[in-house]
Structure 1
Amino acid sequence: MESETRITLRVPGDLHARLVVRARRERRSLNSEILCLLEDALVADSGESAIPAPLRGKPDSSLA
């Protein structure tokens, strides 16, 4: 299993609300949605292939 690091992240309330809506729409947990967005941004920034990587978390409806 890949090593994981836990972080505390402070985000403005309006950004949190937008992330929750997006996670719900994508049927992912909030954590999984944030990871997906970060991975997409890093791929776009690096010019890597846009082939989707497997999700790190399972799609679900829990919103942490």
Structure 2
Amino acid sequence: MDAETKITLRLPADLHQWLASQAKSARRSLNSEIIYRLEGERAADKADSKSP
């Protein structure tokens, strides 16, 4: 497993509520939901940078 870094993250209340709802629907923790979404964006960014 990769090394982990702990951070404090401030979110607008409505974004937090939406993420928590999405996490619950996907049966993930809020932390796992945020990581899932960030990793998805990172993969998409890598794919975009490889396109001509």
Q: Report the TM-score range of the alignment, normalised by the length of the smaller protein.
A: 0.7 to 0.9
Deviation per CA, 1:19-62, whole angstroms, max 9, x where unpaired? 000000000000000000000001011107xxxxxxxxxxxxxx
C-alpha distance in structure 1 between counterparts of 2:40 and 2:2, whole Å: 19
- Structure 2 unpaired stretches of 5+: none
The structure carrying a bigger helix percent of its residues is 2
**How far is the alpha carbon of 1:2 from its aligned partner?**
2.2
Normalised by the length of structure 2, the TM-score is 0.86
- What is residue 58 of structure 1 aligned with on the other side? none
- Structure 1 unpaired stretches of 5+: 49-64
**Structure 1 segments (4+ residues) deviating >4 Å:** none
Aligned to 2:31, what secondary structure does the other structure show? helix
Q: Identify which of structures 1 and 2 has the higher relative contact order when contacts are C-alpha pairs closer than 8 Å and 6+ apart.
A: 1
Equivalences, count: 48
Normalised by the length of structure 1, the TM-score is 0.71
Question: What is the aligned-residue identity percentage?
Answer: 52
Q: Which has the larger radius of gyration?
A: 2
Superposition CA RMSD, Å: 1.2
